[in-house]
Structure 1
Amino acid sequence: MSAHMQKDGQTETLSFTAKAGMQLHAWIGPRGSGTAELSMHIPPLDTVGLKTTETGITAVHYICDTAGAAQLKWNRDDTDCRAIYVFDPATVTDKGIEILYVDPITRRSNPNGPAGFRPPFGWMNDPNGFCYHDGCFHLFYQFNPTSLAWDRMHWGHAVSKDLYTWTDLPVILFPDPAFPGDGGAFSGSSWPAEGAGLDLFFTHHRHGADEVEVQCRARTSDLVGIDAEPEVLIDARPADARERMDFRDPFITRGPDGRLYMVLAGRNRAEALLFLYRQAEDESWDYQGVLYSEPRFGGVAAECPVLLPFGDPQDAGTSWLLIFSLLGSRSKVKNRRNVTLALVGRFDGVQFTPDLERELDHGPHFYAFQACNSPEGIIGLGWVANWSELHAGKKLESGMTWPRQLALLDAPDGSRQLSVLPYRIPGDGPTLDIAANDEPVAIPAADILEIKLSIPKGNDPLHMTLGGDIDLDLILSERSLIYRCADMDQRELDVPFTGVGGVRVLLHHGTLEIFDQAGEWSSTLACAFYGKTSHINIAVSGKAQMSVAARSV
């Protein structure tokens, strides 16, 4: 579909071809205290006005009753229009939405395309409801379609068969119009619904209410829109959470007794807390107590919990994975805020007892990791950003990490370790084998670069420089990663690198991800390059060997 924009004074006219049954989502708001209006005309029907008087930008919806040449008009003096898309409910899961208009306020320089996920426009943060369902991966995410900054939260939605190419679907959860000015639909998870589709579990954040955060469920049978208004499942915090208002981000899992369990995140004045609920026979949710507490960072809030089995949840010998982020935490090592922890241990339906622990990522731009069980094991992804930098005014068109595969492995010393490595990288392109050389080597254009480094014993600190489209320096040595990017000051991070071995580096659309070859550590960095790499030079000092794979769809 092609849309044509025409401007006559302050009147904007958008012309496109409508199909019967096509649905339209638009975000508009009044300029001042009047009424915002989009006028929709599809001859021979009368003109229809899509209106709102709410303060701020809100969504309006329309279903086309007939096919034909359509026109949308609005006057910029009284109507602030941020984004418009249309879709055919019968084909949207294959073809995706069709964007008709995006205002510069919400337009991204790196909209969704191959490689790591980014939204088609607007702001995004936490991944939500990530799951493998009927042969596809579904990714929901915290989404503000009205600007490039955080605001009232919606749930965006995309689907992929390969975790590399994503199809954008319609927004599936909207802020509740009964609570104007609220925080909207906060983070959560999904679970297969009875019959067909998914149940979406999320926190509704209500400014000014006695209980600011309540836990809700919405069912989507067609995976495009919700069947009915969301229902409130848990309308009050338990006594363990009364000291603070934080009580959010429900994660659903099947427990050792075969029942569904819900993990919620929060805190008290001394420690971060994870709360456990169990679904009863009548589908109500009974509080079981504190699943896990984390006191080492003080009374910061836990967020975005994950609880998954490495195998059959009803097998008493199954190990469990527990992940959560700590909002406001400061790492005891260099230059990290808002740490994400991963623990492996035992879950008995009441408490989680850890056997091993690691930081899930040692970089400055990694948060809110969410994972699911799939035919290929546990796979997840995280948000490439850091609240501390965003609150300090840093601009960042954030995306998701490359998907990661988590596995529990036996270490050479007989212990067990949690391995986290990038999911397989598809696509075509050349692979170049390069010896360490201070002279730059040109790399072909690519959606994603995978750089494999082999660092021998006795090597000096590895210094890798990327020039051309991106200006980046990395210096890797024992327990230290120093990096400098064009839009950032030089920073040093503490990483558990021994100074010897293999390292994998992924570069895709503004994100640099570094992995130890055994999956023992990773570090995620955001930089100011958002496009497909068309001109990259790489120079590496020392004795390292390098293999560079340039991959594109």
Structure 2
Amino acid sequence: MNSVIKRCMLISTAFVLLFVLKNDGHTARELNVLLHQDSIVHLWIQPKTRDMVANVYLCPITAGATPNVETELAEQRHVAECTQYSTNLWYDFYEINGVDKAGEYMLKWTDSTKPSLIYVYEQKTVLQEGIRILFINDEAKLPNLEGSYHFRAPFGWNSDPAGFNRSKDGLFHLFYQHYPHAVQWSTMFWGHAVSKDLINWIHLPIFMMPPNLLHLDFENGHFTGSTLNLPNGEFGVFWTQRITDFPRGTITEFPWREVQQYVSTKNLIRPDWTTKKTIVEGFPTDVPPLGKSFHDPVVFFGPEGYYYMTIGGERKDGSAGVVLLYRNKNKSADQLDHDWEYQGVVYEDNRFELRLCECPMLVAMGDPLDRNTKWVLSYVSDKGSYPVLGKDAEGRERMNALIVGHFDGHTFEKLFEQQMDFVGGSFAYQGFHDQQSGRSFTIGWICDIGWIGDNTGDANFDGRGGVTSMTLPKEFVLKDDHLIVRPLPELAQLRQSKQSHQIRKGQKYHLEKGHAELLFQFKWSNDDDGSAEEKFVLDLTPTHLKHGKLEFIIDNNGIELKRTWVKTNKRLVVYNVKPTKIHVFIDLDTVEYFADNGRWSGAVRVPNASQENRIGTVELKSTPLVLEQSSLWYLKYGSHKSARLQPNGIPFAMNAETSSFKQDEA
């Protein structure tokens, strides 16, 4: 493991029956927990100041016994000591496991200790029950978004999906970039969750933690990668490690380099660090030369039975972003920790001052061994290491391209192209072709970075109250000359009832809980004399934004989305289209739009959202002459499992039934 991880005697715990947080004002803070033999406690601490030492103790509690200071001191075990204060963003990690007998224990820390995060889980049942969160520091607590059905980390910051896959037992796994100690971007960890249906998620222990190099370079961390099924049922994990070669402040243009690394999992829960290897040491020599940005490896099975890897990159002169292709010499998934060979640039893009292709992936739309199978190439257009952020003709940044074509293992032949999100609010998608169901799934990140949200005008990576999440799970479906990226039909399980409410034009519908699903289907008039009402206008009004609303408009010009609280020159628009079906999902902090089953889609953040500050009303302002369907379903949902502090440690039951996946026709 990383040198920062100090291993103390590990405490076994099953679940917490009693949770008590105490503070006598000058000595310690305490947690009472019931520990069993199959449990593990994870905690992160730091000294409050540079001249202090952080200490944590574990003491058994005898039922019915009168508290006795001398007895406590005699029986307590010193389980964690942190002597180095690196930065307010870094906490040392301790794993506690192993008690003499099951029972109630007291976990306490000295007044000089600042804990950041404490949770407990059981090794045998963690995939079913997840973690129980015992303590979260104030900096990492999210606003009250209980009931949100979009996936997000239970604490701190989350960003790109970093490994989206399905294990042999049928569980979907989502790894993601994560910073657990504050609601802001920082050195990257990997979070982890599992689901039976891609809708109800169970939060698992943090999967990977970076070494403590914050004193050298705050951008150190385990960055986005991917996972692949191994023959033994485990995952092979691939990621980019940013390595700092020079202390921060050294005069050098690039104080870091990026390498691609591999490790296999252990029980699908944690890395088996004995298998860790660097598989690609540096970016290849190419003409024109490549720049130093060289990250986001996605490994997949493909033509001729080989395994391939795409990596995002850039031209050194800033002239274009590139997608690099590697192939492994071996045809066995358990030999992918070596023998990767560079195949060349499989795609290059220089439009709109694009500098870097990030998060590239190739997803098969059928049997990857079939020469007739079409593939989807996806990547994010980014600025790379340059000061100019490329914008498209409408002023939108970080657009996520979707290109459908043929891939033969060497070259990618483009057939047609479209955008994943015409708003530009979601990107960094990961996807895979699921052999178990025959379907191709994808999920992305909906962020609130200043240059995209324009809610504050400043471009930074603050979470703005924790409002970062993943998109709804989606499915790629090919339809003749276009690709639809539709929300999963299984999302219908969230409806409170099968019977919908009819939406009437001009009437406001109040969302008591802030969640709803809307569906409109209509025909456009062929009347050219201007007498027919040829416009669709849907207004969504937040409860907390004065004079602010979301306007979704379809007219003779095309589709447009307006956020009236935003002052910007960009236009969120698709020209010269007239979809006949609109599908809208409203959540506490997010709205996702799908036109014609996902031929065009967009995601929007509601700024400063919570249970109290959210979309409050829905109103259909205008509609084409022939309205065939206008339906509203209120949605039911609780928290994702282990998503909130659990004062009694008992796992929360799922509030929505799970479903299994079957082959499904569009």
Aligned to 1:419: 484
In the TM superposition, residue 303 of structure 1 has moved relative to its aligned partner by: 1.0
CA distance in 2, matches of 1:237, 1:120: 35
Aligned residues of 1:86 and 1:100 also touching (Cα < 8 A):
yes
Structure 2 equivalent of residue 276 of structure 1 = 325
Task: Give the equivalent residue in structure 2 for 1:483.
Answer: 562
Aligned to 2:634: 550
**Superposed, which structure 2 residues align to 1:246-257 within 5 Å?**
246-257=293-304
CA contact (8 A) 1:111 1:120 kept: no
Aligned-pair CA distance for 1:263: 0.7
| Shift in Å, 1:402 | 0.6
Structure-2 residue corresponding to 1:231: 277
**Is 1:476–1:482's contact at 8 Å kept on the other side of the alignment?**
yes
Residue range with higher mean Cα deviation, 91-100 or 112-121:
112-121
Identity across the alignment (%):
26
Matched, 1:49 2:79: yes
SS at match of 1:237: coil
Counterpart CA distance in 1 for 2:511 and 2:304 is 53
Aligned to 1:216: 261
- The question of 1:115 aligning with 2:149 is answered yes
**2:322 partner amino acid:** L
Cα pair 1:143 1:156 within 8 Å, conserved:
yes
Report what 2:646 is aligned to: none
Cα distance change, pair 179–335 in 1 and its aligned pair in 2 (3 A): closer
| Aligned-partner residue type, residue 550 of structure 1 | Y
1:319 offset after TM fit, Å?
1.0
Structure 2 CA distance for partners of 1:500 and 1:219, relative to 1, 3 Å: closer
More deviation, 297-306/122-131: 297-306
Cα distance between partner residues in 1 of 2:195 and 2:364: 23
Instruction: Determine whether 1:139 maps to 2:174.
Output: yes
Q: Which amino acid aligns with 2:242?
A: H
3-state SS of 1:356 partner: strand
Alpha carbons of 1:543 and 1:274: their partners in 2 closer, same or farther (altered >3 Å)?
A: closer
Q: State the match for 1:413 in structure 2.
A: none
Task: Tell me which residue corresponds to 2:422.
Answer: 362
Q: Which amino acid counterpart does residue 79 of structure 2 have in structure 1?
A: G
Report if aligned partners of 1:248, 1:264 keep a CA contact under 8 Å in 2: yes
**For residues 26-175 of structure 1, what are the structure 2 equivalents within 5 Å?**
26-33=43-50, 34-42=52-60, 46-52=76-82, 53-55=84-86, 56-66=90-100, 67-76=102-111, 78-110=112-144, 115-133=149-167, 134-175=169-210
- On the 8 A contact 1:338/1:386 being kept in 2, the answer is no
Going from structure 1 to structure 2, the CA distance change for 1:58 and 1:481 (only over 3 Å counts) comes to farther
Aligned to 2:404: 344
- 2:598 — aligned with what? 519
Query: Is contact 1:461–1:475 with CA below 8 Å preserved after alignment?
Result: no
Aligned match for 2:509, one of 436, 441, 449: 441
1:435 & 1:469 partners in 2: Cα distance?
Answer: 20
User: How many angstroms apart in 2 are the aligned matches of 1:461 and 1:143?
Assistant: 42
Q: Which moved more, 1:164-173 or 1:178-187?
A: 178-187
What secondary structure does 1:149 align onto?
coil
Residue 365 of structure 2 aligns with which residue? 310
Change (3 A) 1:532 1:288: farther
**How many Å separate the matches in 2 of 1:114 and 1:136?**
21
* Separation of aligned partners in 2, 1:144 and 1:538: 35
Secondary structure of the residue that 1:105 maps to in structure 2? helix
Match of 2:378 among 323, 334, 338: 323
**What TM-score results when the alignment is normalised by the length of structure 1?**
0.91
- Which residue does 1:195 correspond to in 2? 232
Change (3 A) 1:475 1:322: closer
Q: Describe the shift of the 1:337–1:235 C-alpha distance in structure 2 as closer, same or farther (beyond 3 A).
A: same
- Distance (Å, rounded) in 2 between the aligned partners of 1:168 and 1:123: 14
Distance in 1, Cα, partners of 2:133 & 2:99 = 20
TM-score between both structures, scaled by the size of structure 2: 0.77
1:531 is aligned, of 611, 615, 624, to 611
Letter in structure 1 aligned against 2:34: T
In the other structure, the counterpart of 2:537 is: 463
AA of the residue aligned to 1:297: F
CA distance in 2, matches of 1:26, 1:248: 30
CA–CA separation in structure 2 for the residues paired with 1:48 and 1:21: 21
Deviates more, 1:251-260 or 1:527-536: 527-536
Structure 1 unaligned spans of 5+: 411-415
- Assess, with a 3 A threshold, how the Cα gap between structure 1 residues 534 and 267 changes in structure 2: closer, same or farther: closer
- The amino acid across from 1:525 in the alignment is V
How far is the alpha carbon of 1:543 from its aligned partner? 3.0
Aligned residues of 1:203 and 1:215 also touching (Cα < 8 A): yes
Distance 2:210 2:181 in 1: 13
What displacement does 1:31 show?
Answer: 2.6
Distance 1:289 1:500 in 2: 39
Q: Which structure is higher in RCO with an 8 Å CA cutoff and minimum separation 6? A: 2
Q: CA deviation at 1:417?
A: 0.9
Equivalence for 2:10: none
1:260-302 CA distance string (max 9 Å, x none): 1111111012110111111123642111111111111335121
Distance 1:58 1:455, change over 3 A: farther
Specify the SS of the correspondent of 2:357.
strand
Q: Which amino acid counterpart does residue 517 of structure 2 have in structure 1?
A: E
Does the CA contact (< 8 Å) of 2:558 and 2:573 recur in 1? yes
Shift of the alpha carbon at 1:114?
Answer: 5.7
* Residue of structure 1 equivalent to 2:574: 495
SS in 1 for 2:366: coil
Distance in 1 separating the partners of 2:590 and 2:300: 30
Residues in 2 aligned to 1:507 and 1:449: alpha-carbon distance in whole angstroms: 5
Which range moved further: 342-351 or 454-463?
454-463
Q: CA deviation at 1:257?
A: 1.4
Amino acid at match of 2:620: V
User: Is residue 397 from structure 1 mapped to residue 467 from structure 2 by the alignment?
Assistant: yes
Asked if 1:372 is matched to 2:432, the reply is: yes
> SS of 1:226's equivalent?
strand
For structure 2, list consecutive stretches of 5 or more residues without a partner in the other structure.
1-15, 62-73, 247-254, 384-388, 525-531, 637-655, 657-666
Residue 479 (structure 2) pairs with residue 409 (structure 1): yes
Once the two structures are superposed, residues 288-332 of structure 1 have per-residue CA deviations (whole angstroms, 9 ceiling, x without a partner) of 111111111335121111112111112111111111112235342
- How many residue pairs match? The answer is 545
Give the 3 Å change call, closer, same or farther, for CA 434–470 of structure 1 in structure 2.
farther
Does 152-161 or 419-428 show the bigger shift? 419-428
- The residue type paired with residue 38 of structure 1 is V
Task: Please tell me whether the aligned partners of residues 353 and 390 of structure 2 are also in contact (alpha carbons under 8 angstroms).
Answer: no
Distance 1:265 1:535 in 2: 37
Q: Relative to 1, partners in 2 of residues 1:145 and 1:165: Cα closer, same or farther, differing over 3 Å?
A: same
One-letter identity of the residue aligned with 2:91: I
Q: Tell whether the 8 Å contact from 1:456 to 1:543 is kept in structure 2 after alignment.
A: no
Aligned letter for 1:98? R
Is the partner of 1:94 in helix, strand or coil? helix
1:207 aligns with 244
SS in 2 for 1:257: helix
SS at match of 1:93: helix
Structure 1 residues 542, 372: CA separation in 2 closer, same or farther (over 3 Å shift)?
A: same
> Cα–Cα, structure 1 residues 494 and 50, in superposed 2: closer, same or farther, change >3 Å?
same
Paired residue secondary structure (2:149): coil
**Cα distance in 2 for residues equivalent to 1:407 and 1:334:** 27
Deviations 1:78-103 (A, max 9, x none): 32211111111111100000000011
**Alpha-carbon distance in structure 2 between the residues aligned to 1:42 and 1:106:** 29
Contact 2:586/2:615 (<8 A) preserved? no
Q: Which moved more, 1:267-276 or 1:458-467?
A: 458-467
CA drift at 1:455: 4.4
Q: CA deviation at 1:179?
A: 8.0
Question: Relative to 1, partners in 2 of residues 1:100 and 1:378: Cα closer, same or farther, differing over 3 Å?
Answer: same
Does 1:3 find its partner at 2:19?
A: yes
